[in-house]
Structures are given as structure tokens and as C-alpha cells.
Structure 1
Amino acid sequence: MKRPKITIVGAGNVGATLAHLTLLKKLGDVVLIDIAEGIPQGKALDMQESAPVESLSANILGTNDYQNTKDSDMIVITAGIARKPGMSRDDLLETNIKVVRQVVQQSAPLSPNAFLILVTNPSDVMAQVALQESGFAPEKVIGLGGVLDSARFRTFIAQELGVSYRDVTAFVLGGHGDDMVPLARYSYAGGIPIETLLTKEKIDSLVERTRFGGGEIVNLLKTGSAYYAPGSSIVSMMEAILLDEKRIMPVSAFVNGKYGVDGLFLGVPVVLGAKGVEQVLEIQLTEEEHKGLMKSAEGVKRLLKQM
């Protein structure tokens, strides 16, 4: 049986971490591409040399040539500039739009049946750009956001309660930015609503920390942004599609008619499977939650207008 071919664009910290996780999870063969000569080749060779130790069969190729990405089953775009302390994801807009446009223009025609996963920030806007440039069906273009933001929310909840991370579930909706909407009402620890386990003040502080979770890491690193949690989050999305898992996950998906949103990429719960976004799930929101989601949507629209 032929292994899936997975192209990862950008051999920086996120791309390299993702490539390594993809190999370890045995999801398929990897093409790691970057404009910097030698970087993808060197990292790919290093990873390939771990294959005998890890008992891996898949191959990884480092390249600067998009022809090597031809007939990919999945293209994950991590290329672009990362945040620095004091910057928001929105500050990356102008430079990263140019990067994503060029990447999609070079990769999509070579792999017309691929899925596109956008990691480059601001990812909701970049997904919109990728949809326009690729001409792909909307369900095959997906932005990272909700899975990563929810993982951060789950981490903070588990640490506060002193329980296993595995037993905590949480949802974060909206754009992958400071206006995201962590939903405490849909968050549980071992099936128990966290609203019965934590005070409102404590939940509010965890919500606030989640909203600025990426910035917290940027401020600590000073010379880069997060890559371990993003890498793991992307891999979980890839698994759901490649293994047709029908997972319910919050991702940045094309929303057209639900939640009062039309023609916009926004973080919402979806069913993720072999067809990509197989269903957008419209959950019941309170007036305050819906207001927060609309504020987040307006933030994405504002960035699109700046394009």
C-alpha cells in the first residue's frame, strides 16, 4: 500500500518539529521544503538517520524545488515570519500574505487533490488567502487555531485542578487571535463541568491566559514563537483526515451560513475526516458567547479588508 505523501512548507522550528512527529506517527512520506538552501536538506537527513533507531519505514526529503512536492496528499504551510515580543499575530499580516500566496501558487497546481493546512499566522486570514489562490474546495482548506488554543486551555485547566491532561476536554472558538472565545461552559474534567470545580474568577483567569497563551511563550523565548504544541496540534488534524477518524475538533473552517457568519474562515467545531471538513457543527451559544464569536469574526474581516 502506497504511503501518503505529506509536504511541509517551511523548515523552521514548527515545520521541522511537525516533520519529525509525522515520521514518528508513521503517517506517510515527508517532503520538507524551504527557500533556504541546505536547511531542509540537513534537517531531513538528520531525521532520516533516526529511522533505524525508531524502526521507521517512511522517507523524508529535504528540498528547495517545488517539483519534488508533486502529487502530495497533504500540504501543510508553516512558512512565514514568527512573532517577536510585543507583536500580535495580526502584525505579521502583510509579509505572511505574500509568503502564503507564493507558496500556494507554486504547490497547489502540482497537487490538485491535496488538503491544505494553514499554520502561518494569522491562520484564519491565511486560510482565506489559500482558498482564493488554490481554487480548492472549501472543505479541503483548513486553518490551525482551535485545536492549539483548546490544547492550551486544557493544559491550564488540568494544571489548576491537579488532574490528568487526558481527562480534560475544552473548546475554544473564533479566530486564532486575542479575540478567541474559550468556552468554559463546554469544558469538562472527567465528564464533570469545570464550572462546578472552579470559581468564576479562576475560570476567567484561565480564559485570559489562553487568549494570550502564544504571546506568553513569545515573551519567554524572545527570539521565536511556540512550535511543540503547534506541531502536536497539526499532527492530530492530519491523523483525523488521513485515517478518516471523524474527529470532532475545533479548527479554522470555511463557515457559510452557520453562527450568522457567511464566507469566512473562523474557529468552529467540525467533523474532520477523509473528505476534510465533513461537517460544521453549530452548537448552542449564550448571547454573551455569540457576541464574543461575532467580535472575533469582525476581527478576521478587518484583517481581510487590509489585504
Structure 2
Amino acid sequence: MSSKITIIGAGSVGSTIAYTLAHDEIASEIVLIDINKEKVEGEVMDIEQGTCFRSPVSLVAGDYADAKDSDIVIITSGIARKPGQTRIELTQTNVNILKSITPQIVKEAPNAKYIIVSNPVDIMTYVFTKISGLPENQIMGSGTILDTARLRYGLSEHFQVAQGNIHAYVFGEHGDTSFIPWTGAYISGLSTDEYYEEMKAHGKDVKPLDKEAMLEYVQKSGGKVIAKKGATFYAVSATVCQLVGLILAASDSLATVSSMLHGEYGIEDVCLSTLTLVGPNGIQGKVQMRMNKEEVELLKKSANALKEVIAQIEL
């Protein structure tokens, strides 16, 4: 597959994405850009010295000019929250970083599909959409793809069934107001409640699903990993590389990426995650999955929480 992918930010997430792309043979050319030139050169050297086990790939520790004609640009730049720093303060700092990056990269790669990974990802996706001047179909945030992956792993462990049999999603903000629309959660065509009854009838040793506990597992997993090892980057990198694969595929797929809403579910002018058609032409629209009234209200609550943050930052 011949594709050029630029990654901005060579921290744990950006460099792990570069490593994964290099070894999955997703890209033929990878450009890694970071303000810390020494760091990015070291990352590229380390990655490229292991590429003899795959077909040839070009890795460049570059500048914005090297991103010219990129098919996909992945933005991971930003800082982690410091002790005593409020979420708003962190948001404004990372928004300012994005504002400095955006005109430089858009000038070089105006036709690329952009994946925003920097946190808070929904706010950053919104800001990039507003200031980049690019068509909205070219812009998506990684959103709740990682949350959805965590949910499917949690369900597969609970029910002892392969993750590929599970179709369940996390909607809303990639954060505290995310939720699981259980109305649209299925295991091989059965609702989770129906699947539990079927497994019980087959003599399987399964317990009833505690849905609140499952949501807490999804929401708290990132914090637990950070507490234990200092950062999360393997799972998020895997999900971003999966998204890259969807963009480079021959047909559209569905994914919970963060993108601008225009009246879907009664929500306007905010980026968050719902089922979205993603493919070679970028975002092709939202698929409005069946949800009950309570779930729609949870989505609106998530949207309002994000709008409150947007109202307090300087665009």
C-alpha cells in the first residue's frame, strides 16, 4: 500500500504510532515532526533500524515542508496535565499549541485526511475544524474509538467470547460524560441480556452483566494505566492505526470518531463521537443508531459539557 503519513508530535503516542505503522506495512513513507529535534531523530533511527523485516519504507525526521502531499496527517502534540492545573488551563495550553501548528501543516498538506489525537480530543477536533479552513470530511478526532475498544475487551472477558463477535460502542465525549448506548449493543445479533440468557441455557458459567460497572471500567481504564506506568500509548496507537487503515481502505466502515454535528440527535456545533461512516473520502456522514430517549439525553448532556469548555477557551 503506497501512502504517505505525517505524524506531528514524537512523544509516547506519536512515536508508538510511527512504530506501529512502520511494522504493519500500512505506510510507504512516514514523516515524524516534533519541536524536539534530537528526540525525533532518535525515534526515527530506532524505528528504521528494525524495518529490514518488512518491505521498504521511508522514515523521515522532518519539518512541515516534508509533509507535502501527505495522504494522512496525525496530530498528537500537546502536554499532559500538571499537578494543580485545571482542565480548562490544560485545554487552553493545548489549543494554543494546535493554533501554532495548524497553519503550518495545512499549507503543506491541504488535501490530507487529518486525525486529531491530542487531548482533550473533542475540543481539539472542534478547534481544528474551526481554524483550519479545510472541508469537514477531511477532519476527525480519534474520539471514543479507544473507549469502544476497551468496552469490547471488557465484554469479551465477561462473556468469554471473541471480540470480533461484539458490536457495541461508546458514544459522546472521550472523557467523563461518555456513555454506552446499550440499545445498540449486540453480541452476534443478540442483545447483551439475550446473550447472557443463551449462555446460561448452554450451561456456561456466566454472571449477569453489571452495566454500570462496565461503564466505569471503560472510563477509568486510562487513569489506572497512567497510575501504574505513567502514560497510555499502546492501545491508543493501535486504535489510531486501525483508523488509518479504514481511511486507506477501498470502502467505507463505521467508527466512533469525533466530528462536527449538524443537527443529528438534535445537537449542533460541537464535536463528539457517534457512529460515523469513514473511508477513502474521509467522513461521509453520521449513521443515527437506534437509541432510547435516556441515551439521547446522555448524548446531549455530553455535548453540553463540551460546549461549556469551548465557551471558556480562547479560539
Residue 186 (structure 1) aligned with residue 184 (structure 2):
yes
Alignment length (residue pairs): 302
Q: Return the match for 1:217 from 225, 232, 245.
A: 225
Once the two structures are superposed, residues 147-195 of structure 1 have per-residue CA deviations (whole angstroms, 9 ceiling, x without a partner) of: 1110011111111122222322211111111101112232233333212
With over 3 angstroms needed to count, the CA separation of the structure-2 counterparts of 1:233 and 1:85, relative to structure 1, is farther
- The letter for the 2-side match of 1:71 is D
Instruction: Provide structure 1 residue ranges, at least 5 long, that are not aligned to the other structure.
Output: none
Q: Within 2, Cα distance between the matches of 1:201 and 1:162?
A: 12
Q: Within 1, Cα distance between the matches of 2:286 and 2:116?
A: 18
- The letter for the 2-side match of 1:13 is S
Q: TM-score, normalised by structure 1?
A: 0.92
Q: Return the match for 2:73 from 72, 75, 78.
A: 75
Q: Return the match for 1:165 from 163, 166, 186.
A: 163
Tell whether the 8 Å contact from 2:6 to 2:33 is kept in structure 1 after alignment: yes
Q: Within 2, Cα distance between the matches of 1:287 and 1:70?
A: 46
Aligned match of 1:42: 42
Once the two structures are superposed, residues 188-212 of structure 1 have per-residue CA deviations (whole angstroms, 9 ceiling, x without a partner) of: 3333321232777612200121122
Aligned match of 1:11: 10
Secondary structure of the equivalent of 1:145?
A: coil
Q: Percent identity?
A: 30
With over 3 angstroms needed to count, the CA separation of the structure-2 counterparts of 1:57 and 1:129, relative to structure 1, is same
Q: Within 2, Cα distance between the matches of 1:85 and 1:280?
A: 38
Instruction: Provide structure 2 residue ranges, at least 5 long, that are not aligned to the other structure.
Output: 197-205
Shift of 1:56: 2.6
Secondary structure of the equivalent of 2:185?
A: strand
Residue 289 (structure 1) aligned with residue 288 (structure 2):
no
Secondary structure of the equivalent of 1:171?
A: coil
Residue 272 (structure 1) aligned with residue 270 (structure 2):
no
With over 3 angstroms needed to count, the CA separation of the structure-2 counterparts of 1:187 and 1:199, relative to structure 1, is farther
Residue 207 (structure 1) aligned with residue 208 (structure 2):
no
With over 3 angstroms needed to count, the CA separation of the structure-2 counterparts of 1:90 and 1:259, relative to structure 1, is farther
Q: Within 2, Cα distance between the matches of 1:279 and 1:186?
A: 18
Tell whether the 8 Å contact from 1:88 to 1:215 is kept in structure 2 after alignment: no
Shift of 1:226: 1.2
Q: Within 2, Cα distance between the matches of 1:200 and 1:95?
A: 44
**Structure number, greater radius of gyration:** 2
Aligned match of 1:93: 91
Shift of 1:22: 1.2
Secondary structure of the equivalent of 1:264?
A: strand
Q: Within 1, Cα distance between the matches of 2:219 and 2:94?
A: 22
Q: Within 2, Cα distance between the matches of 1:295 and 1:303?
A: 13
